[in-house]
């Protein structure tokens, strides 16, 4: 019986170590410099856009790409949940993504200057937290 408990404890410890390693590896994965340059360049194009709705949609896609490069899988919402600890102002990032969802899913959703700035600042903060800016 004692040996069985020791074996179980060893397997549990190994499982815990594997899970922590996977989490640590994912948060430490670096985005290649070439990709960082592409994201920076795309961001410059996005902020020059006249169409505020389109700019928000594009910024959201860019964040999705950055998190994918960091090793996160799934929808952007799923990636944000998993990557939550990476962001200093996670609520701002979520707010920006929710504005994107409103644009994509609500007919005639209006984006004013204040909403646009709030959203873009949220995305910009996310890129700073990911060490892209």
Are 114 and 103 part of one and the same domain? yes
Are 20 and 2 part of one and the same domain? yes
Are 98 and 43 part of one and the same domain? yes
Are 11 and 68 part of one and the same domain? no
Are 46 and 111 part of one and the same domain? yes
6 vs 24: CA distance, rounded Å: 27
Give the pLDDT band of residue 116 (cuts 50, 70, 90). Answer: very high
Give the pLDDT band of residue 38 (cuts 50, 70, 90). Answer: very high
Q: What is the pLDDT of residue 24?
A: 67
Are 35 and 58 part of one and the same domain? yes
Q: What is the tally of structural domains in the chain?
A: 2
Are 84 and 111 part of one and the same domain? yes
As a three-state string, the secondary structure of the chain is CHHHHHHHHHHHHHHHHHHHHHHHHHHHCCCCHHHHHHHHHHHHHHHCCCCHHHHHHHHHHHHHHHHHHCCCCCCHHHHHHHHHHHCCCHHHHHHHHHHHHHHHHCCCCCCCHHHHHHHHHHHHHHHHHCCCC
Are 73 and 17 part of one and the same domain? no
Q: What is the pLDDT of residue 25?
A: 65
Q: What is the pLDDT of residue 26?
A: 60
Are 40 and 83 part of one and the same domain? yes
pLDDT tens-digit map of 47-103: 999 999 999 999 999 999 999 999 899 999 999 999 999 999 999 999 999 999 999
Give the pLDDT band of residue 30 (cuts 50, 70, 90). Answer: confident
Domain that holds residue 11: 1-30
38 vs 36: CA distance, rounded Å: 5
């Amino acid at each position: 019986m004692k040996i069985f408990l020791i074996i179980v404890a060893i397997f549990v410890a190994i499982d815990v170590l594997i899970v922590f390693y996977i989490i640590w590896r994912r948060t430490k994965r670096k985005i290649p410099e070439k990709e960082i340059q592409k994201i920076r360049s795309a961001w410059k194009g996005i902020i020059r856009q006249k169409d505020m709705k389109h700019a928000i949609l594009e910024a959201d896609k860019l964040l999705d790409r950055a998190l994918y490069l960091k090793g996160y899988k799934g929808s952007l919402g799923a990636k944000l949940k998993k990557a939550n600890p990476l962001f200093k102002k996670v609520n701002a990032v979520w707010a920006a993504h929710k504005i994107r969802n409103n644009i994509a899913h609500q007919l005639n959703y209006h984006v004013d200057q204040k909403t646009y700035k709030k959203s873009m600042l949220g995305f910009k903060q996310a890129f700073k937290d990911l060490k892209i800016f």
